[in-house]
Structures are given as structure tokens and as C-alpha cells.
């Protein structure tokens, strides 16, 4: 039953990745392995001016063990290219979200209660953009990608960084997230200074 729902949800959300104009010749990818794999110039050519990012298992693993390779450099390059950023996190440790907001110099809402669209709308309004000018990048189909669709934004799902699985991830498995490729580069992260 869950697989049936997830497959239908995935087909429904495929239409959410259409950028702004229906006649636009460019199309955003639906998936990327890491944040650094997303082409900044491609985003801009699609009319994207803002990025809503997920934190847990997209930038840093939920257990603070791994950092997405090249994520911080990618964010800095995207900022220099003129893109605006906002973080939406469902994480329960507010001090952790605050640490990453300060480190990346990006505002955030925590808890965001994704996929409900209220936080997405606040982030879009804060960036002073229209939904079709914003892309949501995160690892969860059931939170980030569904929230983007409900908010009328484009979305790109990245592979989830290795982390201890929660009960719904064990049940939903690859239908809600796609695993980080085995033997791919991972950066260790030392969280002892939080």
C-alpha cells in the first residue's frame, strides 16, 4: 500500500519541477547526488533567484557525522552569483540549526513543520520572490519535495547523507529518500565545538 502511494506521489510531483514559465526551454533536474552537483548557472538560466535548503541529511548528516562534500563552497558561489537562501529545518535541536545559520549566514525557520506550506511561504516572502523563482533542495520526498509542490516551487531531491534511520525511513525506504551512493566521497564533520 505504501509503495503504491509513494509511486503515485512521485509521478504527481514530477510536474512540480517545471520552472516558472511553461514555455521555458530549460528544465531543472529532479535529482542530484549532492548539493555541489547542482549547476548554479543552470538554476539561473531557469529563472531561479532563491533557494530553500533542508539542513538535516542534505548539508550535514542528522547525527553530525558527515558534511555534504563541497556544500559550503557551493553555497558561497551561489551567493556570489546572486542567489538568495533560506533554510527550513524540521530538526529538534534548535541550537544546531542556529549554529548552521550562523556558519552559513543564512536565515532559517525551525521547526518548519514541512511539508506544510506555511514555512515555505514565509521563506519565499522573506526572499521577496515569487514561488516560481525559488527551488527547494532537500533529501526527503515526503517533506522537502512535497512541501515544494504544495508551495508551487521547483524542487531537486539530493541523496540523503548516511545517518541512523528513523522508523518512517525504515518503512518508506527508497520511496521517501534515495541513498547516498556507496563508496562515494564523504566528508567527516567534527561537531565537538557546538
Note the pLDDT tens digit of each residue in 37-93. Answer: 999 999 999 999 999 999 998 999 888 888 888 999 999 999 999 999 999 999 888
pTM score over 0.85: no
Mean of all residue pLDDT scores within the chain: 81
Which distant-in-sequence residues (6+ apart) come within 8 Å of 158 by Cβ? Answer: 31, 32, 33, 34, 35, 37, 38, 58, 68, 137, 138, 139
Which residue segments constitute the domains of the chain, with CATH numbers given?
Answer: 2-16+29-180 (3.40.50.1000)
For residue 138, which phi and psi values (nearest 5 degrees)? Answer: -165, 175
Quote the CA–CA distance of 34 and 31 in Å, as a whole number.
9
In angstroms, rounded to a whole number, what is the distance separating the alpha carbons of residues 172 and 116?
19
In this predicted structure, the answer to whether residue 30 has a pLDDT above a threshold of 80 is yes
Instruction: Compare 20 and 131 and report the one with higher pLDDT.
Output: 131
Which single residue is written with the C-alpha cell 511539508?
115
Report the distance separating Cα 127 and Cα 133, nearest Å.
10
pLDDT digits (tens, 9 = 90+) for 138-165: 998 889 999 999 999 999 999 888 656 6
Amino acid at each position: 500500500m505504501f509503495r503504491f502511494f509513494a509511486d503515485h506521489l512521485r509521478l504527481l510531483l514530477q510536474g512540480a519541477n517545471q520552472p516558472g514559465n511553461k514555455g521555458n526551454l530549460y528544465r531543472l533536474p529532479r535529482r542530484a547526488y549532492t548539493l555541489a552537483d547542482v549547476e548554479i548557472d543552470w538554476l539561473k538560466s531557469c529563472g531561479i533567484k532563491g533557494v530553500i535548503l533542508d539542513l538535516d541529511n542534505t548539508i550535514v548528516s542528522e547525527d553530525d557525522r558527515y558534511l555534504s562534500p563541497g556544500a559550503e563552497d557551493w553555497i558561497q558561489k551561489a551567493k556570489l552569483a546572486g542567489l538568495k537562501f533560506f533554510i527550513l529545518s524540521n530538526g529538534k535541536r534548535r541550537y544546531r540549526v542556529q549554529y548552521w545559520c550562523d556558519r552559513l549566514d543564512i536565515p532559517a525557520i525551525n521547526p518548519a513543520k514541512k511539508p506544510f506550506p506555511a514555512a515555505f511561504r514565509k521563506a519565499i516572502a522573506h526572499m521577496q520572490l515569487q514561488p516560481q523563482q525559488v527551488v527547494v533542495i532537500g533529501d526527503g520526498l515526503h517533506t522537502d519535495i512535497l512541501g515544494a509542490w504544495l508551495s508551487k516551487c521547483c524542487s531537486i531531491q539530493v541523496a540523503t547523507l548516511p545517518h541512523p534511520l528513523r522508523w518512517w525511513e525504515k518503512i518508506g525506504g527508497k520511496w521517501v529518500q534515495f541513498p547516498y551512493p556507496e563508496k562515494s566521497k564523504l566528508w567527516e564533520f567534527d561537531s565537538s565545538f557546538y
